[in-house]
Copies of this chain bind each other. A is one copy, B any other.
Amino acid sequence: MIDLFVIKVGGNVLDNAPLLQQFLQNIATIPGKKILIHGGGKIATRIGDQLGIVSNYINGRRITDAATIDLVTMVYGGLVNKQLVAQLQALGCNAIGMTGADANIIPARKRPVKEIDYGFVGDITTKDLHVQPLQAMLDAGLTPVFAPLTHDGKGQMLNTNADTIAASLAIALSAFYKVRLIYCFEKKGVLRDASDDEAVIHLINRTIYQDLLENKILTDGILPKLENAFSAIESGVTEVLIGHADDVLRNTTREVAGTLIC
C-alpha cells in the first residue's frame, strides 16, 4: 500500500491554465501524504526576455549565469511556487512552498567546470538530503511544493533539474514510506506505438522492459525516463508512474491510467 506520492509536474502543464487547474484538483483529492515538485514553464523565458536576460545554451544545455539564477529564483521560487501554493490552498490542500535551501533540505554542489561551465547549476547527492523536516510537514498534514532550486550552503542559490529533485526526494523518503514517484508529462504513458497516443503500456517491469528493448518497440526519447525509473526503484522507491497530468493522478491506488513501472 503506497503511503507517499511524490509528483513531478513539468512546464507544459504549468503553461496550460485549464490543464493546470484539473491537475491541481487531482492533487488536492489524493488522500494522504504527497509532495509536488514543479518545473518552470515559459514564464521565466518571457520575464527574462523583458528584463533583457539572454538564455545561453551550449550543446543544447541551458547555462545558468548570475542574471539567470536570480531570474529563476524569482520566477520559480516566487511567482510560480506561491501561485501554486495559493491555488492548492483554495482547493483545501494545505500546501507549503519550498526550495532546497529552505530548512536545508537539499544541499547541492555547484557543478564543477570541465569542458563546459554550466554556471549556477547544483548537483545533488541523495544521501546528503535532510528529509526530517519534510517528514514533520507530511505528518502535520502539509503538502510540500518544491521549486527546482537548491543552494550551495555558502549563500548561493542553484538551479537543479526538477526530475532529479523528484527522484532524489522519492529515494530519500523511501526509507520511511512506500513511495510512488509520478512523472506527469504530455503523453498518456509509455506507448507501444509512437503514432498512437492511446497505445499505452500499462505495466513495465524489468522482464517486460527487456522484451520491449529486444523488439525495438520503444522510442529513444522514453529510454532515459525508463532508466531513471528503474534506477529509482533499485534505490528503494516502490513504483514509478508515468502519464498525462489530466488522468494519471485520478486513480492513485490502481494502475488504470499511465504506465506503472515496478
Contact = CB atoms under 8 A, between A and B. Distances in A.
A97 interface: yes
A245 interface: no
Contacts of A262: none
A98 B79 CA distance: 13
A155 interface: yes
A31 B82 CA distance: 30
A95 B87 CA distance: 25
A154 B90 contact: yes
Interface in A122-150: 132-133, 136-137, 140, 142, 149
A73 B47 CA distance: 14
Contact of A75 (B74, B151, B152, B154): B74
A156 B86 contact: yes
A90 B136 contact: no
Given A50-B50, A97-B99, A155-B86, A70 B79 contact: yes
A58 interface: no
A47 B95 CA distance: 28
A39 interface: no
Contacts of A152: 86
A166 interface: no
A83 interface: yes
Interface string A72-86: 011111110111011
A51 interface: yes
A51 B47 CA distance: 8
Contacts of A90: 153-155
Contacts of A151: 85-86, 89
A51 B140 CA distance: 39
Contact of A103 (B83, B86, B142, B154): B142
B97 A85 contact: no
Contacts of A186: none
Interface of A: 47, 50-52, 70, 73-79, 81-83, 85-87, 89-90, 94-99, 101-104, 132-133, 136-137, 140, 142, 149, 151-157
